[in-house]
Structure 1
Amino acid sequence: MLNLLSSIAKSAVVLALLAAPSQAGETPVVQATRTSTPPNIDGRLDDSVWHQAPTIADFFQREPIEGAPPTEQTEVRILFDDDHLYFALRCFDSEADRLVANQMRRDAELDENDNIQIILDPYNDRRGGFYFSTNPLGARQDLLLTDEGRTRNQAWDSVWQSRTRIDSLGWSAEVAIPFDQVRYPDSDQAVWGINIGRAIRRKNEEVFLVPPPQSYGFRGRYRTSRLAVLTGLGQLQSRPPLAVVPFLLSGTQRDFAADGSTEYDLDPGLDFKYGLTPSLTLDLSYKTDFAQVEADQEQINLTRFSLFFPEKRDFFLEGAGIFEFGERVERQGSGGRPPTLLFYSRRIGIEEGHNLPVLAGGKLTGRAGPYQIGTLRMTTQAMTFVDEEENQEGREDTILDTLHVAQTDFTVLRIKRDMLGRSNLGFIAIDKQPGSEANYNRTGGVDFTLSLLQAALNLRGFAAKTWTPQVEGRDRAGLLELDYRQGRFETRLNYLDMEEDFAPEVGFVPRTDIRRFKGSGRYRPRPDIGWIRMFSIGPRFTYLMDRGNTLQSRDFQFSAFVNLEIGDWFGARYRQRYELLDEAFEIRDEQEIPIGAYEFGSYSLNLFANSSRRLSGRASYEYGDFFNGTRQRISAETIWRYNARLELEGTYEFNHINLPNGAFNTHLFGHRFLYSFSPDMFVRGFLQSNSAQELVGGNFLFNYRYLPGSDLFIVYNQVWDTEGGLEQASRSLQLKVSYYWQR
């Protein structure tokens, strides 16, 4: 089968070379006007210089009626000088007192607010771009878009300005984006891709210069597949960035599970960014620090396999799109299984739940002609972790476990070659070198994307192999995936073939020795019913065998949801599963599910309340069989936005498992508060409890961006062990100050 995958991949490359990109309809053209007098960025739009630029007002709906005229008028003007690109945006609103704006913090999610969004594609190739958004309160969000906007990098942090103002006509915004914050090629007559959108949230209306098709789904607003053209910029010479960010970290920490002593730290560090070429950026980091990263959200694991946690560390998130290799990450909790990834950055600096200091690291990301390039090198410090049990006074503590981790070097090389249209061919090489040269793990692979019909039809795949000492053969894997979106229909098919000894230690692989078929389909009709916007109906399935073709797991689901005009969702799902256990499955301490074949099903109800409201949330209830017993699951999340500054959130998940050898319950609590003093200053607290892990954890963060790019962080973490009571497990307090300098 792996040979067949290789043949299909070669055929796909030939098709990509023969396929000519198609264009649908005329591409709108907008113009930027040079100015010698920069506007004052205050949100008022009263500078006379704005009258030099033509007004852009031809917007069209994406939601609710694709292609229809907007119900509210929007006007945009664009200026530029040697240093900045400027936007003046007037958002007229016939009910200005009903604007939805409940976020003030920088990098907050603005989807459920009234907002303006600007997408810039300086290469005008529709493969990605830079996303800037603001709302009536002046909150700023920026994203780096790759893979035509399918991948959104929230860690990308640009230094730009926006100011807004609310008045009787609606609201207005002025935006200044420095040219040196975006990558672009040298050009005598620069032509960029651009899209400008607006959300009128109380109507759930979205309008754009070029509306992304509704078939792109709910996140289609980020897509760069179809853009307008920005002209008038004339000759542009790129400005490779040079930025230096020194920081100082001071703190104290105590691990009560070890020797209980308190450690004090005072460590300087340095982050360095330099543009080697207009399109290639080098990032270097000494004593890379992640003090400000929020703790992982706890999960209840009732499966035999590892849980998947998303990356949250900025150094790895920035530019992460180029390093992606494997399956797309599905939203967990929706019935989707964890993905298969050849590179999973959480394998660097985290070992069995322990954080390892990163001594130094560097990465090079960007473009060289038609090539996308990413290289990464990181070194983690050797550490020893001791888990001790405290004994009575006068007796030495008992050592329960000791973990030795050698100093380890990680190296990644990723190259993708853009091909005709929006297709590409790439490869990846990954090396993990802990301790001696004889102890290594290496992964190599090639992948492709064939994109046709204006990205409505996509074929993807990869073939990969790992190298580990004393392991020969049975170490390959391959994937083929096809997805098609057109009109109200969407379908995806996926085949994964993985041999027994395929072991990418810097990747994420839920299980090996498998042949897996996976697919899904959705039909989203929009009926002519006043209070209903859309139905979403369809199945999804997973059929998994071992490589001897014995069925191991089967999962079939069918769901139906209703999307209301007011933005709420509700629906139901039926799920039928089969699991073959060739060894007993310990679902909790001293409680096992025996060897055997199990077929079981469940029903669930789901509700989502529009998060643009002051009080919003979601809830679900599931009941059904579970292996040789039953399971009842209740989950709920509520968010209360008292005003634009204060937000309170609570989450709860309850499981009642009833098995022949006994019943048990699990409880997962999460509580979060967020208070924004301004778009550049906030405080956040997070408390969570996991009965299955017998842990309670708390996290407190204060962040003040006192200058553009320069931050002050105060972080406090506390963990309690609830086994047999409530005892402190660890605590830490850290202060971090950084200063951003740019040439």
Structure 2
Amino acid sequence: MKGVVFLLFFSIVIQAQEYTIPFLNTSVKVDGNLKESVWKLAPSYSGFHNFYPDDVGKAKNQTTVKLYHNGEFLYVAVAYKEEEDKAVISSLKRDDYGGVIVESECFQLIIDTYNKKTNGYLFGVNSSNAQFDALVGFNGNGFSFNESWNTIWKSAQTKKNGMQFFEIAIPLKAFAYTINDAVWGINFVYRDMNPNNWMSFTDMSRNFIQYDLRNTVPFKLEKLPKQNNAKFIVIPSTTYNHQKNVMDNKTTSEFVPSLDAQYSITSSLKLDATIHPDFSQVDVDQQVTNLTRFAVNFPERRNFFIENSDLFSNLGTNEVNPFYSRRIGASGNMQFGLKLSGNITPKTRLGFLNVQTNKREENKAQNYGALVIQNQLTKSFTSTVFMLNRQETDRFNFTDNFNRVAGVNINYKSQNNKWTGVVNLGKSFTSDVKNKNQFYNLGVDYTTKKIEGSFSISKVDENYITDIGFVPRLYNYDAVNNEVIREGYWSAKSEVSLLAFPEKSKKIQTIRYFFPSNTTYWNEKGEITQSLTFVNQALFFRNTASVFVDFSHQYVDLQYGFDPLNNGNSIQPDEYSFGALQLGYNSPFNKQVSYSVGVQYGDYYQGTRTRFYTFSTFRLLPFAKIGADYEINYLNLKELGIKPFHLARFTGEVFFNNRLNWTTYIQYNTQQNNFNVNSRVQWEYKPLSYFYFVITDNFNQYISRNNWGISLKINHRFDF
């Protein structure tokens, strides 16, 4: 009977072209019970559509959402009718996208406060009240998110008579917005793991990601406050680090005080400052086996670089990125940093950053600067201009050792959501280096439900130097002569994916029956140096399992010696042609135990490569989650040598509650001659105020200890 009452309570649905979030001058107790009378006054939104695995028709189990604001908080109430009593969850840990969003029953709220389809916010809460929040941004050919952004908000979840209820309160001060046009783009998504359904308020095709801002609809906010209530956030912290280097028998201990602050100049423009930041609590990188000739990059995890990070990180392409923030602080500790970012007008975003690092051994002190201006020219076109600078410093003086990069980007998004395009123009200026210092790129993507395709062509000059960027293919390591040679190149990449959806099949959800891609590189003389061709076919089942087969072929005109075995026996410059076949299977990931397994065999330069991998997850929720991964690459290069590369990873997460967890990573990587243990206790004793206790231990592959350390860190967030 109670379930019927709640269904009637949520039964009124507003059918309007422009939806409304009213101003109601009252607050609620966020407890998930939805008993306050104000919820009878707030408009109701329902009629959710199937999104995934099927994207046709209305959802069988409907979600109903109510919203209002009181000038201080945006309040959201959610009701969902479940088929099964037991909800599936995979994590109690905040900001665990895979655990909270992908592999748990959850509600998601996507908000574009400027309704410009460029950048916004993603909020999610699962059926155990674990929260997720992130910034969403357009990266040139689609949307991505950055979960390292955080704000303080409230949520609660209850379950009664087969109904799942969520109640949410997000402070308006968390958003960047303007009152000149108080229309926000919003979408709601509900994820039910038991029948494996994703449901969306807007009718969107399943080839889009659920937080794609192009699929939001306009909501008019009544009486949005003129000023952001929050002006100042201060986060002081202190860290104790104790490090022991066993190899040279040296011990260091130090206390590191630091300070982070944020001032809201306007509701959409923020000034961030950091003094002597410490990043000892940051998650460790997942190690990889790299059998290519070039470096790989890893994601940024430091909070200072996170907010509005899409302004800085999408200035080029995946292979030619002029700004890669992890370069900053790699050769010297950060002393201080300033960042001004956000909207200066509804259509114009500004990003300014300046960071000073200190001297470390032979590495000189450096000053890093970035200026980015992004302007929405029309509904489809956006322009970005930028200037980056790295300059050596001597106390308070700048020396003549510098590297600067300037550029212009034009991005295109069609109104029918099928086409995206990008044009990149860049030029670098480096002390004592002139000419041949430019970068050009043209790219286009096409996406429909059954066809996805892309094409791009790029030119990188040999002196397009980006000291705070990531352009790995520009630098060629010669293992024979132990030197790095900088060489410019052309590249062209094309791919197409053809999909079929057997509607009458009860088991198969999607067939990817044709997926070829090719990437080809030429030197500046117009000679092909490498060509990679890849062909894939895959079956995706309705229970989330999948199976695939792919064939890859490479042609390499090797110009410099390459030593993948790390034994001093290099593959000599010559022409090589080799291919490989790979088979793989991914089990349903909405089960208590899930896994992936794959095997690959083929030629590799003058020898062979055999690869096997397995990734597994064991969910013991709500108490724990365990991950165990293993990969072996067995290289047989004949007279040059035979060597297996092992990569093993164990991840153990113990959840005491939503605020206290213990995470341990154990990684064994014979390519890097490293066995690493990182164990971290994280306690959120107050919203976004943390205590960390971290132990790290590093050994070589023969389990002989190199070094170990202990870190204690506590920070406290003050909102004024």
* TM-score, normalization by structure 2: 0.91
Q: Does 1:649 align with 2:641?
A: no
Counterpart position of 1:17: none
Tell me whether 1:556 sits opposite 2:533 in the alignment: yes
Distance 1:645 1:635 in 2: 27
What SS is found at the alignment partner of 2:102? coil
Tell whether the 8 Å contact from 2:173 to 2:267 is kept in structure 1 after alignment.
Answer: no
Q: Contact 1:600 / 1:625 at 8 angstroms: preserved in 2?
A: yes
Tell me the secondary structure at the aligned position of residue 586 of structure 2: strand
CA offsets, 1:429-488, max 9 Å, x none? 111112461111111111110222433211102111111222111111111110011231
Matching residue's letter, 1:211: D
DSSP 3-state at the match of 1:46: coil
Give the match for residue 509 of structure 1. 471
The one-letter amino acid paired with 2:203 is P
- The answer as to 2:150 corresponding to 1:157 is yes
Counterpart residue number, 2:49: 60
Q: Secondary structure, in 3 states, of the residue corresponding to 2:554?
A: strand
2:47, 2:62 within 8 Å by CA — same for their partners in 1? no
> Aligned pair 1:409/2:371, yes or no?
no
How much has 1:235 moved relative to structure 2? 4.0
Asked whether 1:227 is paired with 2:204, we answer no
Residue 720 (structure 1) aligned with residue 709 (structure 2)? no
Flag structure 2 segments of 5+ consecutive residues without an equivalent. 1-14, 475-487
Correspondence 1:590 to 2:565? no
After the TM superposition, which of the residue ranges 460-469 and 307-316 deviates more from structure 2? 307-316
CA offset at residue 67 of structure 1? 4.0
The 1:232–1:381 alpha-carbon spacing in structure 2 relative to 1, beyond 3 Å, is closer
What secondary structure sits across from 1:586 in the alignment?
Answer: coil
1:305 counterpart letter in structure 2 = F
- Match among 415, 419, 433 for residue 377 of structure 2: 419
Q: CA deviation at 1:693?
A: 1.7
Is this contact kept in 2: 1:96–1:167, CA < 8 A?
no
Q: Which residue of 2 aligns with 1:350?
A: 330
Q: Tell me, yes or no, if the aligned pair for 1:190 and 1:236 is still in contact at 8 Å.
A: no
Q: 1:534 aligns with which of 510, 518, 525?
A: 510
Which position in structure 1 is the counterpart of 2:419?
457
Distance 1:72 1:271 in 2: 45
Give the C-alpha shift of residue 320 in structure 1.
1.1
**Contact 1:127/1:422 (<8 A) preserved:** no
Q: Secondary structure at the match of 1:439?
A: strand
What RMSD over aligned residues (CA atoms) do the two structures have, in Å?
Answer: 1.7
- CA displacement at 1:680 relative to structure 2: 1.5
> Are the counterparts in 1 of residues 316 and 322 from structure 2 also a CA contact under 8 Å?
no
Q: C-alpha separation between the residues in 2 aligned to 1:141 and 1:468?
A: 42
Q: Which has the higher mean CA deviation after the structures are superposed, 189-198 or 262-271?
A: 189-198
Correspondence for 1:622 among 600, 611, 622: 600
Question: Could you say what secondary structure the match of 2:44 adopts?
Answer: coil
- Conserved in 2, the CA contact under 8 Å of 1:104 and 1:139? yes
Deviation at 1:424, TM superposition (A): 0.8
Give distance in 2, aligned partners of 1:44 and 1:526.
40
SS at match of 2:326: helix
CA deviations 1:598-642 (Å, max 9, x no partner) are 000100012122322111121221100110111001111111011
Count matched residues. 678
Matches within 5 A, 1:570-589: 570-587=547-564, 588-589=566-567
Give 1:101's aligned residue. 89
Calculate the TM-score normalised by the size of structure 1: 0.89
Q: Runs of 4+ in structure 1 displaced over 6 angstroms? A: none
Q: Which residue of 2 aligns with 1:708?
A: 687
* Partner AA of 1:525 in structure 2: A
CA distance, structure 1, for counterparts of residue 307 and residue 555 of structure 2: 40
1:359: which partner in 2?
335
Residues 305-355 of structure 1: CA deviation (Å, up to 9, x unaligned) = 1122222222223321110234554xxxxxxxxx2211011111114xxxx
Change (3 A) 1:269 1:410: same
2:84–2:194 contact (8 Å) kept in structure 1: no
1:653 CA drift (Å):
1.0
User: Aligned partners of 1:248, 1:94: CA distance in 2, in Å?
Assistant: 49
Amino acid at match of 1:520: E
- Post-superposition offset of 1:166: 2.2
Report the secondary structure of 2:406's partner residue: strand
Kindly indicate whether the alpha-carbon contact (under 8 Å) linking 1:185 and 1:238 is maintained by their aligned counterparts in 2: no
- 8 Å CA contact retained: 1:209, 1:228: no
C-alpha distance after superposition, 1:346-386 (max 9, x if no partner)? 111114xxxx32111111110111211111111112112xx
SS in 1 for 2:60: coil
Q: Deviations over 1:84-116 (max 9, x none)?
A: 11111011113223x222321111222121111
Identity %: 24
**1:659-698 correspondence runs (5 A):** 659-661=637-639, 662-698=641-677
Structure 2 letter corresponding to 1:504: T
The answer as to 2:428 corresponding to 1:466 is yes
Residue 736 in structure 1 maps to residue 713 in structure 2: yes
The CA distance in 2 between the partners of 1:59 and 1:241, in whole Å, is 37
Q: 2: distance between equivalents of 1:441 and 1:608? A: 46
Q: Encode CA deviations 1:132-151: one digit per residue, 9 max, x unaligned.
A: 11111101001111128702
CA distance in 2, matches of 1:632, 1:465: 42
- Corresponding residue for 1:206? 198
Equivalent-residue separation in structure 2 for 1:582 and 1:101 (angstroms): 51
Match for 1:568: what amino acid?
A
Contact 2:71 2:224 in 1 (8 A): no
Structure 1 position 36, deviation (Å)? 3.4
In structure 1, the residue matched to 2:391 is 433
1:28 Cα offset (Å): 4.3
The whole-number CA distance in structure 2 between the counterparts of 1:687 and 1:628 is 34
Cα 1:235–1:182 shift into 2, 3 Å: closer
- Stretches of structure 1 lacking an aligned partner (at least 5 in a row): 1-25, 330-338, 385-403
How far did residue 721 of structure 1 move? 2.2
For 2:96, the aligned partner's letter is: A
Partner letter of residue 58 of structure 1? G
Question: In structure 2, do the counterparts of structure 1 residues 424 and 313 end up closer, same or farther at CA, with 3 Å as the change threshold?
Answer: same
Return 199-208 or 643-652, whichever deviates more. 199-208
Report whether the alignment pairs 1:294 with 2:303. no
Partner of 1:372: 349
Measure, in 1, the Cα distance between the counterparts of 2:26 and 2:402: 59
